[in-house]
Structure 1
Amino acid sequence: MSLITIKNKVAKTIALAQREYGVYKTQLFGLAILSLLSGLLEGIGINAIIPIFSFINAGKSSPTDTISQVIENFFNFFHLLYTLKTLLIFIVILFLIKAAIAFITGYINASIITRYQTTTRSKLFALVLKTDWSFLSRQKAGYLEQVLTTDVMNSSSLLANVNNTIVLVANLLIYLLLAVNISSFIAILTLVLGAVVFLFFKPLFHRNRVLSEQIEKMYKQMTHFVNQNMYGMKTVKATAVENVVKEEGDAQFEKIRYLNLRMDTVRNISNSLIQPIGLIFIVAIFSFFYKLTSFNFASFAVIVYAINKVFSYTQVVQAQLHSITSLLPYVINIDRYRSEAKNQKEKDVGEQDFSFQTQLEFKNVSFAYIENVQTLSNISFTLKKGEMVGVIGPSGAGKTTVVDLLLRLLEPKSGSILLDGTTIIDIRLADWRTHIGYVSQDMFLINDTIENNIKFYNPYLTQEDMFFAAKQANIYDFIERQPKKFATIIGDRGILISGGEKQRIILARTLARKPEIIVLDEATSALDNESEALIQQSIENLKGNTTVIIIAHRLSTIMAVDKLIALESGKITEHGVPQELLKDKNSYFFRVFNLH
């Protein structure tokens, strides 16, 4: 790897760290200062063993090392008796202060981590909620959950490891200084050996990161696989493919196990070798010290302890660096996802309020999901206020695209959608959607009470509004028959109630908001005749009071509309009153009607 490549990688990593953790640099700096202070107090306390041994052996302090002399000068400066007893009290006080600093350091560390997790999840979630629908619809199932849970957790673990590394390096430096204080020669040898060990293990860091990137990708695939099959578990069971799904799952689980095992093996290589290297070095030091005529057991004990701590901290720092390199891909993934979400932010340039007086118009509207492949081609139609309009057509004709354009989930590639002559882009997005009601065939309900499903995060909705909407949707009597009435829990996605009951609750949710335009996208396609009749009755009651757009396959749903529009291959092939269209034997509606 060239020097330029290494520099670029380091620069990118620093820039990434600045983006992800830069807001915490003040706390991290404070953490470093406190860690140095804590290590210094511990080092002084350990070094005080030398004068203690002198007091025990000679009845007075006589060491010549710098730190011992500083301790003695400290006592003299404050006119304190320098005795074995006062020295022991001094050491106890040092370690009590160190314990207090350690508590503060731990609190700051925990505060940084928890704040990072909360802030990152909150900002990412807010970004996702404001991203363009076309971006969201391309995301794999479980990917966002992976980012908000696993990736953020691992990214915060990396931050915790950085914090721990700061503390460890601070302590390592203090013990190196302690070794220098007693023997600069041995301290330099320790530094040289440490550098050699680091360079020896450097390739393992790279290998660790490569394996971690592979694991991160596999976790993403596994999350998608599990979520996808959990959502479709009914189909999995109904088609008796549980064993096949299990085999595919086992293959992914085994791949993750294998990669994790390899990564742990790489970590263990360095962890298992550092301690023997340190022990060999300490034995060599003993041999060196013991042969000296000025051999001092107290000094020897302290320097052995200091070097042992240096190697111990080096081992832990090594482990922390392995952990940091293994967690880095998760931080990169968060940064990438954040960048993508920012670039796909939903456009909202509107400044006008929603005001619907006369008509909604599609004017020469075209749309394409894929360039040069038109989903809608130059379509135009008008909806009068209070009118009920049906849209029919074969699958792939562009019906759902019309709905998404109305909901402003998509924007026309050409042409415009006008409300009373004003392009809807000029209307504030939130205000537009507040006045548009949407009922789809995908019956989305939350695992909560019927009341909270009807109110659906709207704190301003009154009980009276909720009751009235439930009656309009023909679901009120069903709710009142339940033991807990509106407080009844309906399960995840409404699994505890029938399809018809789900759809009527969703219709009540829509009606409770009192929208001026309601879009029904295949709202009765999966219902039985009785449920469809109840929904149909609710829809017919809206006629003349609310503008209703019905996307439907079932003819019974659209026979009562004021106007019918037929879409084929992204173009309007016919439109008019249903009864008039039936008179034309060549019309699409006539053909479909006679099929039924």
Structure 2
Amino acid sequence: MKIYSRILRYVVSYKKYLLVSILLSIVFSVLSGISIYLTIPLLKTLFLNNGSGSVPVTDENFIRHSMQYFETFIFSGGKGKALMIICVLIIVAYMLKNITGFYQALFMQKVEKGVVRDVRLAMYEKVNMLSLRYFTSERSGNLISRMTNDVNAIQAGISATFLNLLREPLLIMIYLVLAISLSWKMTLIALIVFPFTVLVIVKIGSSLRRRSMKMQIKTGDIISIITESIYGAKVIRAFNAQKFLHKLFRKESDELYFLTLQNVKASELAQPITEFLTIVAGVMIIWFGGREILISNTMQPEEFLGFLFIIFQLVVPIKNLGSVNNRIQEASASAERLFDVLDHPIEIRDPETGINLNSFNESIEIENVNFEYEKNKPVLVNLNLTIKKSELIALVGPSGSGKSTFADLIARFYDVTSGQIKIDGNNIRSIKLDSIRKLIGIVQQETILFNDTIRNNIIFGLEDVTEERLHEVCKSANAYDFIMETANKFDTIIGERGLKLSGGQRQRISIARTLLRNPQILILDEATSSLDNESEKIVQDALNKLMQNRTSIVIAHRLSTIKDADKIIVLDNGKIEISGTHDQLMNSGDNIYRKLYNMQFK
């Protein structure tokens, strides 16, 4: 319950709506009791034989005394008038009850939907604050499941807590008060069943939480497969892997199916058991009440029938109460998965009194930098390097040598394990993240575009961008001509991940997006390696324009593109093996760079 209580803290923001809903629940419960009680004077009106229908006020029980006083007043004008009054009262009572129920549900929905929105927003904001390290170990489908299915499960838990957990016991209390006022003996028989009902609910609820947790995890696995199948549609078809994935998806779906059936069995078992136990109590009451009328003659038939109406009305709130614990347990399991994300430590923190660095003036210094993704598994080892303003630095090396990781550390997507990186003499940990990201522009090998217009993909996150400026950067990125040839020009929707565009077109959109931000430090992570020769020439021309008057760090796959670099850094197994200009490296004997170059240009 500690986990679940944390979710309930989100309700505080909606306490006004919650208070109104609670008050309306109380009114609704009282009106429900009145509606049921009115059946007793109605039956007396229909079945009493005396002319006046008056009822002597003799009972010392306050509730019973009040009921008899009310009935005396009703019957004082004769049966015809009494029938009319009761019919009017029943209509008014049910009308007010339903109006109250409607507004109570409306205000409760504002609370539930508001909490769902706030939790989902908190999840989304937290996900965007987590470092890239988190996403390398967490499946995307699992995250999507948490932000959709788990958040929705919380809504049911809130409803159970503030609606059913309040209204159902209140209805039970009101019905019991009415029942006790008519016959405490028969009410006692009804109460015998309650302890058994509570035991059933608690036992089923404890197992339901465990099953719900397994279901949510399995749902996340299925969403991951669906996401990967959509993302990797071309690869799946190219490798004829449809049958393999169908088999995998069926296996996961079958496991979820059986988990769901087990969960449904546990969940659905609570209600019929509680209903059956309540009916058992009802049958015992009928037997005992029949004896009171037929043998002892201590109870009027209309009171007995009214008592039965009241007791059987208890079935509904007891039945609903039987599912409350199940829903709370399911919500608790979902909340546990949500807080697993919300409580995840933030690796890359913005310094509280950080430096606002508005310009890059001198150099980037890498001092004794070591980095590892996993403990005792070094990726970069004792790196030392100085990158001066306006220099073009190329990173070269075999696959897995640490080139992209090196670039990610400069952009502070990760923090170094030891050592430090400085920009203009300031440790990047002391610089505000917003300042670092504004100084640095990145063009990656895998271009990330969104299912939106070309315009929105380029201005992504910026405001007040003029058409003139937009056209200018697109021309510099060699993107303007092909954009103007599309159906709706800058307002053309490019599809999910930009799949309606060619690889070269997507890359030029990415370059235009970077140009628009006018970064002073540029990181190019194998930006042309996946392009054909014709596209590469167009994109390379755009990149050359982009690199003008900027400090550039280029991760190169095709070594012909970095021959003019001021310095080429050769990485191998996370270490700097050698560095220098192209000519220096080619003339310095046998080294990795020379081998790589000769392999490409044999």
TM-score normalised by length of structure 1: 0.92
SS of 2:413 mapped into structure 1:
coil
Deviations 1:149-202 (A, max 9, x none): 111011112222333412222222211122112112222222221122322454
- Following superposition, the deviation at residue 219 of structure 1 comes to 1.1
**Match status 1:530 vs 2:522:** no
Q: Residues 118-517 of structure 1: matches in 2 within 5 Å?
A: 118-165=117-164, 166-292=166-292, 293-340=297-344, 342-344=345-347, 346-349=349-352, 350-517=354-521
- Of 458-467 and 302-311, deviating more is 458-467
Distance 1:131 1:377 in 2: 25
**Match status 1:49 vs 2:42:** no
Deviations 1:434-464 (A, max 9, x none): 1210011111100111111111121232222
Question: Does the aligned pair in 2 maintain the 1:387–1:543 contact within 8 Å?
Answer: no
Question: Does the aligned pair in 1 maintain the 2:445–2:530 contact within 8 Å?
Answer: yes
SS of 1:490 mapped into structure 2:
coil
Deviations 1:565-589 (A, max 9, x none): 1111212122222122212232322
Question: Does the aligned pair in 2 maintain the 1:397–1:568 contact within 8 Å?
Answer: yes
Distance 1:541 1:590 in 2: 28
Distance 1:152 1:345, change over 3 A: farther
The sequence identity of aligned pairs, in percent, is 28
Distance 1:40 1:61, change over 3 A: farther
Distance 1:157 1:386 in 2: 58
Distance 1:478 1:17 in 2: 50
Code of the residue aligned with 1:541 in structure 2: it is: K
**What's the counterpart of residue 106 of structure 1?**
105
SS of 2:578 mapped into structure 1:
strand
Question: Does the aligned pair in 2 maintain the 1:448–1:490 contact within 8 Å?
Answer: yes
What number of residue pairs does the alignment pair up? Answer: 584
Deviations 1:471-495 (A, max 9, x none): 1111111111223111111111111
- Following superposition, the deviation at residue 505 of structure 1 comes to 0.7
Code of the residue aligned with 1:70 in structure 2: it is: S
**What's the counterpart of residue 551 of structure 2?**
547
Question: Does the aligned pair in 1 maintain the 2:190–2:278 contact within 8 Å?
Answer: no
Q: CA RMSD in A?
A: 2.5
- Following superposition, the deviation at residue 14 of structure 1 comes to 5.9
SS of 2:368 mapped into structure 1:
strand
SS of 1:437 mapped into structure 2:
strand
Code of the residue aligned with 2:106 in structure 1: it is: Y
Question: Does the aligned pair in 2 maintain the 1:585–1:591 contact within 8 Å?
Answer: no
- Following superposition, the deviation at residue 300 of structure 1 comes to 1.0
SS of 1:307 mapped into structure 2:
helix
Code of the residue aligned with 2:148 in structure 1: it is: T
Question: Does the aligned pair in 2 maintain the 1:365–1:378 contact within 8 Å?
Answer: yes
**What's the counterpart of residue 6 of structure 1?**
none
- Following superposition, the deviation at residue 547 of structure 1 comes to 1.4
Code of the residue aligned with 1:115 in structure 2: it is: G
- Following superposition, the deviation at residue 384 of structure 1 comes to 2.2
- Following superposition, the deviation at residue 28 of structure 1 comes to 4.3
- Following superposition, the deviation at residue 360 of structure 1 comes to 2.0
**Match status 1:38 vs 2:28:** yes
Distance 1:13 1:436 in 2: 40
Code of the residue aligned with 1:49 in structure 2: it is: T
- Of 366-375 and 59-68, deviating more is 59-68
SS of 2:378 mapped into structure 1:
coil
**What's the counterpart of residue 598 of structure 2?**
594
SS of 1:348 mapped into structure 2:
coil
SS of 2:583 mapped into structure 1:
helix
Runs of 4+ in 1 over 6 A off after TM superposition: 74-77
Distance 1:314 1:243 in 2: 49
Question: Does the aligned pair in 2 maintain the 1:51–1:61 contact within 8 Å?
Answer: no
- Following superposition, the deviation at residue 118 of structure 1 comes to 1.1
**What's the counterpart of residue 92 of structure 1?**
91
Distance 1:450 1:533 in 2: 22
Q: Residues 565-584 of structure 1: matches in 2 within 5 Å?
A: 565-584=569-588
Distance 1:367 1:289 in 2: 81
TM-score normalised by length of structure 2: 0.91
